Structures are given as structure tokens and as C-alpha cells.
Amino acid sequence: MHLSKFNCLLSGVLSAVLLLSSCGDDDNDIVTPLIPQGANVTVNNTFQASAFNINDETDFAVISGMQAGAFAADATVSGAVEFSAYIGLYDIDISETSISFDIIAEADDPNFGDLFRVLEAGTYDRYYFTFDEAHNVSGFSSSNPSVNLRIDAENVLVVEIGEGYDFNPEQAFTITLQDDNTTAITPQLELPSNLTVTDQTFFPEDIVVENNVAYVSGLGDGSIRMFDLTTANPTAMTFAEAEVGYGQAWGLKSDGTVLLSLLNNADFGGGMSGPAKLVAYNLASGVKIGEWDLPSGAIGHTVSIVDGKYYVGDFGQPRIFEIDPASNTVNDNWFSSTQWDPAISGMGGIIYNGTDGFYASQGNKLWYLPISGGQPGTLQEVSVSGLETIDADGISWNGVSNTLYYTTNDTGDPANVGTVYSVVFSDAINAVGTEIANGLDDTSGLWYFTSNAKRYLFVIESQFGALFGLNDYEAPFNINIINL
């Protein structure tokens, strides 16, 4: 059975491909069983590659048009175990002391043949091995310099294939497991329960986490703060000062190199809003490297990055702008729809799903808008069981489990009723919604974040009610870190 990572043509014999068979005992010089015999293990593949417009780590099954986890395979470690022809590409063997990969696809393979190449920068092919018992691995050596092992948790090992890997039909490599702490292991972040900002003029709006740094925009003062999550007690530092003539910083987004920020002058009293623009900063230096004015009266809410272009939702009225930094142009009329009612709202949170479309909140509903080659497809309403309405402000996406997270802002209610939800998709337009947290003070931005097999949501309590004089400010501002 052959299975492409970049199409949805799946063989009916998938189950046969994922059947597991035991192998004979391997001869190993290392006696210590670094992986206990009898442990059950599951393997699952994720993929991430800017060259294929898969900017977020995404379950291979989702890329192939199936439900997340559809390609997970199970086995029991006994001397050695073999995942036969896993996803039609690799023969994977695990012993108590090693993990080996051997490409079985041929050069003329109809699905992989055209993809054999040296992997580009920003490409990561990851294989997660999850055990039901703790392993004893603390180090490793790799026979291929482009293949790394992440030790994410006491029961999780991740084989990460990256830049420079010669992806070809003859390729094979082995990870030798060790217990001597001789190799660099992915550090385990020890995150606090929340981050705080004491500046009473800040009023946090949106958040993005990139390279273990959290960036937070300020609707009150127009600045951007940053927190280094690798430090023992992350404290707010200034990433970008406010710009003259722009009093508010709204939506943020990053691709790991650039940080995008929407600057506005929204008039919350119902009058004409002032100038608005999208600004791009070099993430490493903080230097501004581009800016694009939005149409008169627009209020930039959320921004997404797709194929090098930027897509901005207008909070003032229901429409999406396309900004092409290469040509330095702004398309004011990229997409709108008669299905969107401007009498109810402009655009709320919008998020790209990492593969083929946007999810957008408008008019207390959730919508799916495909995109291909820079062109919008047919807008469809998403059916979300378990939730009567969808009013998303902050919004984030987990491509591994095909899950959208969002917050509903409660600024108009003096009580603390800010709420966080998850929406798990079974296909593009059908999902199940669940409440995750409530009782928060004016929830706005949020961000889904993973570190060493742990999953978190960073959720902002904006206290916009205090900003608009509806209730009192309670110091300090909090960004809650929810362990999922």
C-alpha cells in the first residue's frame, strides 16, 4: 500500500499496511533495557514544511484527508518490534536500545517518487513514539546528522527528520539509545501558571508564542511586550514601542522569522475609526521591516500567513483583506459574503488551519473558507454540536488533533464570565464544541502551545471592562497558562 502525504487518495487496504509483526531478538552490546520489554508503543507521524504551505505541525492523517490519529499504529516491545511498511514509506524497527528507519518506497513510487529530495530548511518529519511505561533514555547517537531524537517526556520519544536529510529510496538510519546524558536533550520548560504585566496602561489584547518567547500586544498603549519562557520567572520586556498616531495594538502572528502586528485607532463610541495598518517586524532583531495601510475606517482584528501572503479580518465590517509583501499591495476586496451580516458584527477571530482554509467567526457563527493558489473558495457554515453560538475573539489552531481553540470576550458584563472553548473537527464543516474554562476577566487573545509532549493554552484576561469604564481594574494583568 502506498500513501501520499500530499493527496487524499487512500487505499482500502490501510489496515493491512499498519499490521505489526514481531521480529527475532536483536544482538545488542548494550544490556540495559532502555525501553522495557512488554511496553506497549504507539507511533504517529506529523509533518511541517513551509515549502508545501504546511506552516504548523500537522498530523499526517489530517494532511491526507483523514481524521487525526488515523495513521497511529500500536505494538508491544518484545526483543524488537517492527511497524511493517508504516504509511507505505518506512520500515521501522524498535529494540530495547535502538530505533531504525529504512525507506521501502521505490524511486518510481506514484506517491513519494516526485518528493525524493534533500529536505529544505523549515521542513520537519516527526515520528512520535508513546509508551505506556516510562523509558530509561537520557541520551542518544544518530547515524544521520539530519535526524534528531527529542525526549519529550518519560514515556515519549520523537524521531525528528529535518533540514539536509537526503530523502531517497536508499536511505536508512539508526538512533542508538543511551542512558549516559551525553547528548543534548530538548529542555523541559517549567512554565508558571500565569504571566503578568504590571503596567496599568497596557491592557493585553492578543498573544503568539514563537521560539519559546511569548509576544503580547497592548490595546491600551499600542506596544508589544515579550516573555522569555526559558527563564525561571518570565517577566514582561518591551519588544516594540507604540507608534505615534496608533493607539492600539491588536492581532499578532508569526512564521518564526517575522512578527506581524495590527495597529489601530478604533472608535468604540460608534464614530469613524482612525488610521489602521499591518506592521512586520524582524523577530530576531525587533526592527520594523514593512508596513501596509488598511482601507479607511478599517479595524484590523486578526492576521494569518498563507503562502507568504497576509490575510487580515476587518473588525469594523465583515471582510478579509489580502496583503502581498512581495508586491507591496493591499487587496481591499479579497473576500466578503452576503452570508455575513454587517448588522450583527464585523469579523471576529480568523485562523488558517495549516492546510487548505480559514475558520472565521462572524455573526455568532463559525465559517469555513477554503483557499487555493491565493483564491478563496466557497464559504460554508460549520456545524458545531454542543455550542449554540460561536463568538470567537482570540483564536488558535492545533493541527495535530484538528482542534480550534477560542475565547469569547465578556467586556459588556461587569461579572467575570470570560470563557474558553475547544472545537474538535471530524471534517472541514462538522465539529464538537466543549467549554474548557470560564469565570475569567474579559478574555481576548489565546494561543495553543506544546512543549515536550505537554499541551497548554495561553489565555489573556484583558480587563477591557476597566478600560471602557464598566468596572474597576484589578492589578496586575494576567495571561493564564492552562495545562491541557
CA distance 265 to 251: 13
Over residues 465-476, the mean pLDDT reads 93
Q: Which of 80-89, 197-206, 411-420, 463-472 has the lowest mean pLDDT?
A: 80-89
Q: Which one of 115-129, 428-442, 451-465 scores highest in mean pLDDT?
A: 428-442
C-alpha cell at 473: 481594574
- φ/ψ of residue 467, rounded to 5: -60, -40
In this structure, how many other beta carbons lie within 10 angstroms of the beta carbon of residue 381?
13
> Do 192 and 218 contact (CB within 8 A), yes or no?
no
C-alpha angle with apex 43: 38 to 49, nearest 5 degrees? Answer: 160
% of the chain exceeding 90 in pLDDT = 68
pTM over 0.85: no
Confidence of residue 435 (pLDDT cuts 50, 70, 90): very high
Confidence of residue 337 (pLDDT cuts 50, 70, 90): very high
Q: Which of 11-25, 66-80, 103-117, 175-189 has the lowest mean pLDDT?
A: 11-25
Burial of 102 (0-12, 13-18, 19+ CB in 10 A): middle
Over residues 218-230, the mean pLDDT reads 97
Q: Please determine, for residue 229, whether its predicted confidence score (pLDDT) is greater than 90.
A: yes
C-alpha angle with apex 231: 57 to 401, nearest 5 degrees? Answer: 20
CA distance 184 to 228: 20
What domains can be seen in the chain, in order of their start residue?
14-178 (no CATH), 194-483 (2.120.10.30)
Q: Tell me which residue of 300, 284, 277 sits closest to 226, measured CA to CA.
A: 284
Q: Among all chains, which residue has been given the C-alpha cell 472553548? A: 421
pLDDT tens-digit series, residues 341-382: 999 999 999 999 999 999 999 999 999 999 999 999 999 999
Confidence of residue 82 (pLDDT cuts 50, 70, 90): confident
Residue 37, pLDDT score: 83
CA distance 248 to 243: 9
- φ/ψ of residue 375, rounded to 5: -110, 135
pLDDT tens-digit series, residues 191-206: 999 999 999 999 999 9
pLDDT tens-digit series, residues 289-307: 999 999 999 999 999 999 9
Distance separating the N- and C-terminal Cα atoms of the chain: 36
Collapse the DSSP code of 57 into the 3-class scheme (helix H, G, I; strand E, B; otherwise coil) and give the result. strand
CA distance 76 to 398: 29
Confidence of residue 30 (pLDDT cuts 50, 70, 90): very low
Confidence of residue 189 (pLDDT cuts 50, 70, 90): confident
Confidence of residue 32 (pLDDT cuts 50, 70, 90): low
Alpha carbon distances (Å) from 35 to 9, 25, 89, 131:
36, 14, 24, 9
Confidence of residue 181 (pLDDT cuts 50, 70, 90): low
Collapse the DSSP code of 201 into the 3-class scheme (helix H, G, I; strand E, B; otherwise coil) and give the result. coil
Eight-class DSSP state of 26: P
CA distance 137 to 89: 26
Confidence of residue 224 (pLDDT cuts 50, 70, 90): very high
